[in-house]
Each structure stands twice: as structure tokens, then as C-alpha cells.
Structure 1
Amino acid sequence: MSQAVSSPASASPDASAAPPASVAADVAVSDAVPSVAEGAEGPGFVHLRMRSEYSVVDSIVRLDEAVAAAVADGQMALALSDASNLFGWVKFYKQASGKGLQPICAADVWITNAENRERPYRLLLIAANNAGYRRLCELLSRAWLENEYKGHAELLPEWLTAETTGGLIALSGAGGGEVGQFLLAGNHARAVEAAQHWAAAFPDAFYLEVQRDGTPEAESCTRATARLAVELDLPLVATHPIQFLREEDFRAHEARVCIAEGEVLADPKRVRRFQPTQYFRTRAEMMALFADLPAALANSVEIARRCAVTLRLGNPQLPIYPTPEGVSIEEYLVHQAEDGLAKRLERLYPDPEVRAQKTPEYEARLKRECETIIKMGFPGYFLIVADFIVWAKQNGVPVGPGRGSGAGSLVAFSLGITDLDPLPYALLFERFLNPERVSMPDFDIDFCQDNRGKVIEYVRRKYGYDAVSQIATFGTMASKAVIRDAGRVLDMPYNFCDQLSKLIPIEQAKPLSLDKALKAEPQLAERLANEEEVAELFALARPLEDMTRNIGMHAGGVLIAPGKLTDFCPLYRAPGTDSVVSQYDKDDVEAVGLVKFDFLGLRNLTIIDLAVRYVNERRAREGQEPVDLDNLG
């Protein structure tokens, strides 16, 4: 006996539900199978669950390899669904789009279980459109900032209602979701209640999810979920939780998990949460695995068709700099630059006659620079940087005089961004900003290390706490570290691994890769050829080399958005810290249109400031005038 189950499927992300797709109630198959799920002529299946190395602790999928595998299998789309984060989304979007593969934005999230905080539920959230992407960014940010528990960023169920989930598609989480856990516990009534709750929270966008991932309970959960789908007239979708690409990668994946959890690979007491079957299955494999549930396969394709998230890359959007009423930002830049130049010239050339002779040259240079800045659309950038530098100087925060190509700008000198007059040294403005090479200007600004935080706090107050954050970095397992880590999970002696690690040469402050090290260091190659333990260690270390290992914070980068940051990217806060960072690294935040400002902490400025203070305290006691560094020499 089979019954029809409605499928919220549509080619348009915001369209209403499509006609019903059939599903088996007791794994009895209906003949009415949508053509999209038939054989090689249709897409057949789309992977909606794939964790990557950016899940940090439990996946070894590299994005470029995943995209290549999907393209090789003729798949039309692929989702990236890392654990409560979008760390890799922009990179994945670029790589997939570049290969003609539709990228799907998703996140595997935890839902707080009010009855047992130690056992949160899983839910897969997929962004169907740009509104859904923004909602997903906001939800993930809120989870990390407001509801992190034991390393998990959890969503509260009350955050997800019909009014707040527009543009999102939800999958029930299979055996790890609320519905699945009640089904496995034999509590049918609670499973029905949970399914109806989530269906109401995601109108026409909630799917009951089934998996056959090799876990003992997977088949019983799949059968119970299929029956529930028929009973409640809810759509069913098949997924496969990808943790690694090839079947033979399972051991390396387990080593990755052990490294993150401090376990030993061979420990019989170690909790084993993953299965050898969680590799990147082909469409043919998935269609064979769910041949009895063709509608569940078809709905994976329909979900992909509903998704249309697009990123506008390479379009920088500066925050709005406040100007006096009736004055455009371009006019204000010119006014501030001209006013600042006049003050600088009075100090540079106290003699009025000399100043009169020099002024035309400076004014011509200033006019040319202002025209270039306005033409390229960057007056706001200069005014924003000048604002927080002037504030720092006025509030006792030592600021560097300027360095790099930015020191070649007379506008920067006039606004107080730098303290170096570029004309006597023939410094070129075009090295900093050139209309023939369109790129964001980038001032490297040094602040006293101890007071840098005061300037960042000022910027937060001025532009809004929801518009300012610092930037994430991704630490990786470089060759030396991965040898030690792989050796530890293999329970090899520390000295043995340390000796091998020290044989890896360093070039330009970075260790060579394992392959390059074998060519550059004969002793290492010889040991690999002659010692089984070394061969075993290298076999495990190679798949893990350069894998993302941890999330850090950029040394100086600060984002200032033209509104809420979560309209552009989600935010992250490492457990046990107060540091809020973007979930995208410096390259990706710039790609999505955010502008990075460098607030670099320089210990030398702190030391100089302390030295001047001590000298001036002594001079004050002796009745002498204080030293003013700006007037020395």
C-alpha cells in the first residue's frame, strides 16, 4: 500500500508547493516516480549534507576535491553543510560556480533540547534565496553569541517560527533530529507532535529526512520516518552525511577526529561516531541505496531547484560616513583635505613668503589626488580612517606616522592619517591608489599595543556594535605539526615523531610540505623507505596536511559594515572568549563586499610612549619643558 505525500517543490525559491510526489509507507514502492529521479538521463539525486574541513573537528573533505567529485559524477548541484558555520561558504561558492556546479548554502545546526541539554537535536537548514541566506547568517551568529553550550552553538526552538524562517528550508535531521529521536525511542505521539511543530515553523519548506549511513538504527529510523511522512502528508527526502570523499579515507578521517578530541586511534574504549560508509557516494550508488524510496531521491533534486542564493562578489560597500546636512561626502572630503593642508603648510613653512611659493604645488597635488579618490569612489574610506586616527591622537593613543604606499598620499597627510609630507621625498600617490588598477585602498595603521582596543571600541560605538567585528583566520596542520599529531593518535613515542618533524626543512619561516621535504632531506626519504613505522605515519599524515585545524583572529583587521554585519556574513565567538569575529577570512569578507580596516598593535609605540612619559615626569620635577616628539629635530 502506498499513499501520496505532498512535496513543497518549485523551480522558484518562493513559489508554493508543487504537486505531490509519491513515497513508500512500508518501503513498498509506487510506480508514479518523477522523471527527475529516473536513471542517467535525469539528475537523480543531489547531495544536501556534506561537511568539509571547515567543520574543523570531524571532516576531511577539501572543497576543491568535493567539487571535482560532483562534477565528475555529473551532479548538477552540491550543498555545503558544515557544523553550525559558514566558514567555507564563499570559497565553495566560487569553486562550484567556476565549474558549472550549483552551490547550495546550508548548515547542520543543533537545536537546544529543553528536556535534556546534553542531547540537542539536529536540523539541516538550507538557504533557498538571499533572504534565507541573511536569516541563516543571523541565526548562526545568534547561536554562537547567545547560546553556545559545551562547544556547540545551539538554536533555541522559539527562534524558528513561520514569521522568522522565510527563505529557509529545513530537513528533520534523520536519526539525530527531534522527530528521529522520538521515533527511535518508540514515542510515536511525540514524533508526530515534533513533525507538526517543525512543519508549522517552516511552511511548505519542511522535509522529513532519511539516511542509510551504516549506523545500526538507520534502517529502522528510515522505515518509521517513511510511514510518518505518509501519515502526516509531509515530504520525504534522502540524504547522505558525507565526512570524507573516498571509502579508503575513513582511517584518516578517524585520525582527524582523534586529533581534535585527544584520543588514540586504536583505543578500544574510544567512542566511534562515524561509519566507513560516510564517503561521497555517486548518484548511482544513492539511487540504488534508495531505490525503494524514489520520491525521497526526487525531493533532493527539487530542493536543489528551489535554491538560488547569489553572492555579489568584488563589490565593496563602505559604511556611511556622516557629513553636515546638505554637504555631499565628496564635497566634505575636499573641504577637510583643503582645511587640513592649510594647517599643515602653516606648520611646515612658518615664513609666509616661502609658504606662498610652495602652496600652488601642494594645492595642485591635492586637487589631483582628491579627483582620483572621488572618481574611484573612496572618499568615505579616507574620512572614516581619518576620523578614528584623529580620535586616537586626541585621546592619548599613540599612532604611527604612517608606512607603506599610503605614505605617498598628500590627502592622507592633510587629513591627519599620516604624518609624512610626501612631496620632499617624491613619494608617488599612484603606488597607493591607481585608477588603472582598481582595488581597495589599504592603510596599515599602527596603534600603541596597550591602547589599540580603545580605538576599536570607539569605532564600535560610532558605527554600531552590530556593524563592527574582527576577522577570522584558519589555522592549519602544517607538515611539522601533522607529523606530531598523526604520531600521537597512532600512539607512537613522542621522541620518534619529534625527530622526524625536525628533519623537515624550513624555508622563509615556513616548513616545507611533506612531499618537498622528502626531496630536500635525504635522511627523511631514507627513513621513509626503510622503516615501516615511518611509512605508516606518513600514510596517515599526508591526507591531513594543511587541513583546517582551528579558528583564530586576524592580528589587525577590523570590519565596519554599512549596516548589520549579518547581512553579509555570520559571526563567531570561540567558546570561553569574548572576541567576536566574522566567519569569513580576510579574503572572503572582501569578496562579499565588506571593507577591512587595519588596526595594528605595535609594541614599539607603547615603549616609546612610556619612555616619553617617564622623561617628561622627570623634566617636570626639574622644572623643564616637556619633550614633544613631533617637534624634535
Structure 2
Amino acid sequence: MTQDFVHLRMHTEFSIKDGMLNPKKVVHKAIASGMKALAITDATAMFGDVIFYKAASAAGIKPILGADCSITNHYNRDDYLRLLFLARNHQGYLTLCDLLSRAWLTNQYKDRGEVDLDWITPEMADGLIVLSGFNTGAIGKAILNGSLSAAEQEARRLSQKFPHFFMELQRVGRPNDEMLVAESVKLAKKLGLPVVATQPIQFENSEDFEFHEARVAIADGFTLANKARPRIYTPQQYFRTKEEMCELFKDIPSAIENSVEIAKRCNVTIKLGKPQLPIFPTPDGMSLKDYMAQLAREGLDRRLKVLYPDEKKREAEFPRYKERLEREIKIIQDMDFPGYFLIVQDFINWAKTHGCPVGPGRGSGAGSLVAYSLGITDLDPLAYDLLFERFLNPERVSMPDFDVDFCQNNRGRVIEYVKSKYGEESVSQIATFGTMGAKGVIKDVGRVLDMSYSEADRLSRMIPTRPGHNTTLEEALSEEPQFRAEVRNNPQARKLIEYALKLEGTTRSLGIHAGGVLIAPGKLIDFCPLYAAGMLPENVISMYDKKDVEAVGLVKFDFLGLTTLTIIERALDYIEKNTGVRPDIEHMECDDEDTYKKIFQTGDTVAVFQFESPGMHKLLIDAKPTQLSDLIALNALYRPGPMDLIPDFLDIRAGRKKAEYADPRLIPILEDTAGIMVYQEQVMLVAQKIGGYSLGGADILRRAMGKKDVAEMERQSKVFIEGAAKNGVSEEVAAHLFELMRKFAGYGFNKSHAAAYSYVAYKTGWLKNYYPAEFLASSLSEVMTDPEKSLKILMDAKRHSVKLLGPDINESEFNYTSPKTMEIRMGLGALKGVGSAPAEAIKTEREQNGPFK
């Protein structure tokens, strides 16, 4: 009978600087090797732990969670040490989260997060199984240095500190491995310590060694041929089978047996699933449900007073708003999401009252009347037929997700407010991982193979760029004859692609998610470990990415930076300075005839949000928009897929062609878009009016269509045709309509998003029409370092008869400014080599001591 063995040491691609193993795929390797458990122990990190935990659990393999930690050497920090920590139980998992977070947030040295053993209390130590680190631990290093007494002293200290301590043994072909194994076994016997065999796994198969060396060289900035390159790995650091491990340590059977014993002792269960919101404070102990309903009803009254100043008109309109609001409130309460809405409205309304511009909405959230009433969004969803069920579906329970745009320069202030409200230890941003894409990996591998930059760049340019799709090397080899021929006929290119194919898709870098912010109900480290580049508070992120933080129960809030909001705010500052009046852009009606006529109908949209491209200029001239609903439709149409429908849309609008409706009930749904389905919401309304779906069911249908789920489509087709028959629609017409819906749902756009962004676009168009100098000066400030974009806006300013003034040491600020109406002054920041610090110093000097002479 084959003896059992469990791998307890493994670096995956999430060790970032070394390790090639994919935490999902390696599970299959363990199954093939007949193992019942497997550990993930990345370098002072747990980035891939949730991915691994889910994959292993699903495959029936016991996941063991740990980390190969850098330990602070108080005698010589340059000679850092390592210990392997494995979580024995849930307390051990929390201890790991705590230790790694403290290492990266408070104790970095030379880009290493280091664990200080003085942090570890006896209670914390009891939750961990600790392995000595073999050649990288204090004991192993002392033996290698010939100091057996120091090794013994260190072994006594560690075994006293950690009740579950093991002497680690490895055999991977390093020069001193055998000597170190022999001395470690002797020391363990002397002190009565258990030993355990580990295999420091870095890659899957022995032939992957060279590819792993390239991976490490890319991370460290060396070429493979460089003699100074550190060579710390061996070809034997692959995923050995249990038979190989048993053979390798047949002289020390207890070392093999103890790997299984440790695996039995490690029992960590991560609670996956239900999201947990932070506690939102309510007045007088009011329930979250009642408080949200109260705020929503009060907010609706305020909104309606602005929308309908005439009291009689307001009274006439009130019932339909009231009905919609109460329906939404009930759904939100039944789905138990009032807390989420309260948290979001709180930080948005704080931003609005503290000089932090906020967008009118983004994504499907703009379809909620409750959100509009609470001040989360600023677009009346009833005025534009926006559907709440596109945002929150009572028939498919999932967390609501408001994407919120903040002025880029003020986004950090809002995050700081959230930290002050819920506590620093409860708020962080989220990790995101950059991977080696086809083009990038060719350049990376080209560099480590000492290939010239121009040659690697030439090869990378052969990979086609497609909107919305990252072409893989396999696809490029299959679909691009020139690339395939180059790889076949050029030995250097062939070698490069051999390496690149192995490394493509591997995690290369760690970054901060563009918008995601976590707010935990308590300490974040009770859910996941944290990381901070450079130990800076503003860089604190979860070690888990956005999917994994949600899996462990944390709720993600999207704080996105939108430079257009910054441009608008700065333009308003310039206008107020020049005219003494600040336009009330927040409550603007989108009905200014002059703005449509002079800006949108003429395609005069340089610097106008969402409508800047040459293709959009032409579309605007052809379409001649006269109202916001026209801008919304054009915004949704001008993208791959629906672009093909633009000629029909224009012909029908111009009366050159007649709109066709398969059923008269489609007219109110489609007449705004010339009888063509442009929006996902229209697909949902057709399913409701013709197929008899509820709006929740219609949203499920839309999602299935968008995902091109063939089996689900067959089922839904029957449901739709049967529902249509009940509504008096023939099977032939219903089948035709279903096919049309299927086609449009594949690329139909979210109307709520198009509406909210078109509203922002209108504001920028209005500003350009009435205050071109102030608006374009503000726009120029955002593109100062891009000569091409700057020139385009400067030429546009000239066309608008704006006077352009050069840089002036006594007048210019860092940004472009508008010192007077119809004047733009060049900013010092537009001068090559002048950064914000010198520009501010110049400004301060002239303010304190008068103009430069």
C-alpha cells in the first residue's frame, strides 16, 4: 500500500515575484497525484487563498491555508529569516490575517513585509502550526554558518514559543541540502522535536524550471544570461507525486507521516456567501427599514417641489411617483437592503454638502426612484422610463451595486469621511491583479532573453487589438498568418513564444481597484488580510480581489473618479470669478434650444463628455438632436453592434423610412428610438407587455440573452410564445419578436447608464456654449501632458474666438486659467519639466513679495 503524503509548502503565481502555479489548476494536479489535502503558502501573502479554498473544496481536497513569512531579524535586518505558518483552526486563520496585515502596514523593510515574532501571544501561537523554514529559517541558517549551538538555542526558543512546531526537511538538489537534513534530524532528536518533509513547490513540472527562471528574472529586472542574477531555485522544485516524496524520504519515514498528521490538524472553514453590512446609525433606535422609508418619502417630496413647482401639477403627478416609490421601498425592505441604501446616501450627501462634486448616477442604479429621492442619483427615472428591476430584481436576489462618480480631485476626501465614520480599521480599498497579457509578455520575455526592444516590439505589434477582447497568443498563432510564419521561421521568435506561452496569464503585478472601497462591520482583518504599498494609509487594500472579498462576506462600494466632474467644477469656479455668478448646474433643465442647435446639431463637441470622437461628430450632424432623449439614444447606439442600426435610425427619424411595429403595444416602448430596440430596458418591457413576464422575470430573460445561454434560451422561448398567445399574439409574430429581442439583448445598452451620462454630457455642452473660455481652460488642465489633445482643444478655442495667452511668470498658475471671459491663459504645468511644486512655489513667492521684476 502506498504511503500517504501531503504537500505543505507551495508558492502560486500570487507570490508575485516567484511561483507559476495557478491556484485553481494545481488542485487537479493534487487529485492526479492521489492527495487528499494541499496547502497554499505564498510569500508573506494570502492573495490567492479564497480562489484556492473554493477550488479545493469543490474538488473534494482539504484546503490548508498558510503563508511563507518573512521574519524580522533584529540583529541584522538585511539577513531576513523565514518561517512557514499554517492555520490550524479559525483562530489561526485570523492570526494569519492579523500578522500579514501588520507586516505590510507597519513593518516593511526593503519592499518586504516582515512579521515580528514579538507580536505573537500564546493564544495566537496556539492557532498556528509552524515549520522551521529549513535553509531560510534561523535554525537552518545557523547550521549552514557552522554555529550548531546557535541553531540549538533558536530551536529551543521557537519550540517554546510555538506549541505546534516542526523541524522542516527539504531535498531539492541544493549543494548543502543533505548536510542540513542530517544536522536538522540530529537536532530534532536531541530536543525531542518532530520533523516534517516539505517540497518547496514553485512550478508544476521539472521542465518548467527555465520558464520559472524567466518569471523571476522579469520580476527582478535581470536578463537570464546576467551572471549577477540570483539563482536560488533548482529544477527539482516541481510538484512531486506522493510516491516521489515517499521515495525521497524513505530513510526518514516520520517526516512523511508528519505531513499527513499536520494536514489532519489543519481545519479551517471560511464562511462564504452572505454579505455583511456595517451598522448604520439611526435616530432614536429606529429600524433601518423604517428610517430608509422615511428618508425616501421626505426626499421625494423635496424632489417633486423642484420638478413641479406648480402645486396643482404636482398633486396631479404625485400618485404615479408615490406608487412607484412604495413599490421600490417594499422590494428593498423585503430583500433586506435598506442598510445598503442608507450607507450610500450618507456618503454621497456628505460629498454634495462638502464641496465634492458627485455624478448624477452611473449604471442601472439611475433607474431607482428611491435612489433619486435619497439623493444618490440626480435623474428622474420616471421621466426617462428607467426600470428599477434592471437594478434590483426581487426574483434574483443579489446585492445592489451603486457605481458612484466623484470628482477625481475630491474622491480621497470622501473615502476619508467614510473612514472617520466607520473607523480606519473597517475601511480599505481593494486589490486588483495585473496579469501578463499577450503583447506584454512578449516584451517581458524579449527583455529577459536579451532580445532587442525593437524586435520584441515588432512581434508584439503582430498581436491584433480588438475592442473588448484580449487576444491570446494561441488565438494570434491560429488567426494571424504573418505572426505564425514569423514564429515558425525565426528561431529567436520561436524561443520567445515558447517562454511567453508558458507565462501568459500569470499574475505580474498588484494594484488598487479603480473604484472599490470596502466598509466592514468591524475590523477588516476579521475577514481578510490587508496590504499597503510603502506602508502609506491611502494605499491600504484587501489582499483579496473584488470577487473574493464579496465571497468572504464583505460589501464593495464603488467610488469612481470622473475627471469630467473636476472639469465642470473648475469651470464653474472660473465663471464665478469672471462674472460674479455661479450657474446652478445641479438643477439644470436639459431643454436649452441654443445648446442643441449650436453644439450638438453642428457636432461642435470637442471636449464634450461622451461625444468627442470624429464618428460621433458626424452622427450628431446627421441626427440633429433636439432633446436629452435623443442624446441618450445616440450615446447607446454609438458602440460596436448597435452601430449597424444607425442608418435605419437616421432614415426613420428623417421620415425617409417608416418604422415597423409587429404589435401596436410596441409603439410606446420603441417610438423614442425609431422603432428599434436600443436599450436593455426595452427588451424587458417587450417581454412584459407581449410575453406576460413580470419585470423581474424579464430581467432574468435579458441576462440569459446577453450571456447567450442556449439551453436557457430554448426554455425562455417557449415561455415567451405561450405568454404572447395569452395576450393575443400569434406564434409566428411571437417567435419573430423573440428572435429580435435575442439579437438586441446581445448588445443592447443599459438605458439608465446612457441617460445619466448623457445628462453629464449635456452639462458640458451647455458650459461650452455659454462659457467656452472657462470650460475649455478647465478641460485643457486635464490634458496638459498630452500635446495632441491639448492642441486639439486649443485649436477649438481659437474657432470659438477665445483669446489665447502664453505662459506668464506673474500671471500663470499651474493649471490653465480663464483670467477674463473669452480668454485662456496657459498654465505653468503645460511647460515641459515644470511640475506642480515649482509652479506653486512661484505663485507663493509673487503673492508674498509682489510680482517678479
TM-score normalised by the chain length of structure 1? 0.91
**Structure 1 residue aligned with 2:381, among 415, 419, 422?**
422
Give yes or no for the alignment of 1:234 onto 2:197: no
Letter in 2 for 1:583: M
Deviates further, 155-164 or 535-544: 155-164
Letter in 2 for 1:125: F
CA RMSD of aligned residues (A): 1.3
Distance 1:162 1:192 in 2: 21
Contact 1:208 1:237 in 2 (8 A): yes
Letter in 1 for 2:414: V
**Structure 2 residue aligned with 1:149, among 81, 87, 109?**
109
Tell me the residue number matched to 2:753. none
In the TM superposition, what is the alpha-carbon distance from 1:424 to its structure 2 partner?
A: 2.1
Tell me the residue number matched to 1:260. 219
Q: Residues 316 and 631 of structure 1: is their aligned pair in 2 closer, same or farther, counting only changes over 3 Å?
A: closer
Tell me the residue number matched to 2:337. 378
In the TM superposition, what is the alpha-carbon distance from 1:510 to its structure 2 partner?
A: 4.8
Contact 1:409 1:428 in 2 (8 A): yes
**Structure 2 residue aligned with 1:451, among 390, 397, 410?**
410
Letter in 2 for 1:249: D
In the TM superposition, what is the alpha-carbon distance from 1:632 to its structure 2 partner?
A: 3.1
SS at match of 1:534: helix
Tell me the residue number matched to 2:546. 586
In the TM superposition, what is the alpha-carbon distance from 1:355 to its structure 2 partner?
A: 2.1
Tell me the residue number matched to 1:630. 586
Larger radius of gyration: 2
Deviates further, 125-134 or 163-172: 163-172
Deviations 1:492-522 (A, max 9, x none): 1222211111111111155411111112211
Q: Residues 130 and 576 of structure 1: is their aligned pair in 2 closer, same or farther, counting only changes over 3 Å?
A: closer
Contact 1:161 1:202 in 2 (8 A): no
Mapping of 1:130-141 within 5 angstroms? Answer: 130-141=90-101
SS at match of 1:142: helix
In the TM superposition, what is the alpha-carbon distance from 1:576 to its structure 2 partner?
A: 7.0
Q: Residues 626 and 497 of structure 1: is their aligned pair in 2 closer, same or farther, counting only changes over 3 Å?
A: closer
Deviations 1:122-158 (A, max 9, x none): 1000011111111101100000011111111111120
Work out which structure has the larger RCO, using CA pairs closer than 8 Å and 6 or more positions apart in sequence. Answer: 1
Letter in 2 for 1:364: E
Mapping of 1:352-501 within 5 angstroms? Answer: 352-501=311-460
Q: Which has the higher helix share?
A: 2
Deviations 1:409-454 (A, max 9, x none): 1110111101111122221111110111111111111111111111
Give yes or no for the alignment of 1:605 onto 2:561: no
SS at match of 1:116: coil
Tell me the residue number matched to 1:73. 33
**Structure 1 unaligned residues grouped into runs of 5+:** 1-38
In the TM superposition, what is the alpha-carbon distance from 1:271 to its structure 2 partner?
A: 2.0
Letter in 2 for 1:117: R
Q: Residues 617 and 358 of structure 1: is their aligned pair in 2 closer, same or farther, counting only changes over 3 Å?
A: same
SS at match of 2:560: strand
SS at match of 1:629: coil
Distance 2:76 2:6 in 1: 34
Distance 1:408 1:558 in 2: 23
**Structure 2 unaligned residues grouped into runs of 5+:** 590-853
Deviations 1:571-630 (A, max 9, x none): 11123755111111111111111111011101001111111121122221xxxx532113
Distance 1:506 1:260 in 2: 25
Contact 2:45 2:543 in 1 (8 A): yes
The runs of at least 4 aligned residues of structure 1 exceeding 3 Å deviation read 575-578
Distance 2:587 2:53 in 1: 53
**Structure 2 residue aligned with 1:53, among 9, 13, 29?**
13
Distance 1:338 1:117 in 2: 61
Contact 2:91 2:124 in 1 (8 A): no
Tell me the residue number matched to 1:29. none
Mapping of 1:245-324 within 5 angstroms? Answer: 245-324=204-283
In the TM superposition, what is the alpha-carbon distance from 1:216 to its structure 2 partner?
A: 1.1
SS at match of 1:164: helix
Mapping of 1:545-560 within 5 angstroms? Answer: 545-560=504-519
In the TM superposition, what is the alpha-carbon distance from 1:160 to its structure 2 partner?
A: 2.2
Distance 1:510 1:255 in 2: 27
Distance 2:374 2:419 in 1: 21
Distance 2:285 2:473 in 1: 62
Q: Residues 511 and 344 of structure 1: is their aligned pair in 2 closer, same or farther, counting only changes over 3 Å?
A: closer
Distance 1:631 1:328 in 2: 32
SS at match of 1:569: coil
Deviations 1:335-382 (A, max 9, x none): 111111121122222222222222222222111111111111111100
Identity, % of aligned positions: 55
Contact 2:33 2:241 in 1 (8 A): yes
Q: Which has the higher strand share?
A: 1
Distance 1:89 1:148 in 2: 22
Tell me the residue number matched to 1:166. 126
TM-score normalised by the chain length of structure 2? 0.68
Deviations 1:478-504 (A, max 9, x none): 111111111111111222211111111
Give yes or no for the alignment of 1:524 onto 2:483: yes
Distance 1:80 1:313 in 2: 18
Contact 2:532 2:539 in 1 (8 A): yes
In the TM superposition, what is the alpha-carbon distance from 1:184 to its structure 2 partner?
A: 2.1
Distance 2:485 2:534 in 1: 43
Distance 2:276 2:335 in 1: 13
Distance 1:90 1:593 in 2: 12
Distance 1:529 1:630 in 2: 61
Deviates further, 218-227 or 248-257: 218-227
Letter in 1 for 2:326: K
Contact 2:573 2:582 in 1 (8 A): no
Distance 1:554 1:431 in 2: 25
Tell me the residue number matched to 1:125. 85
Distance 1:302 1:309 in 2: 15
Letter in 1 for 2:489: N
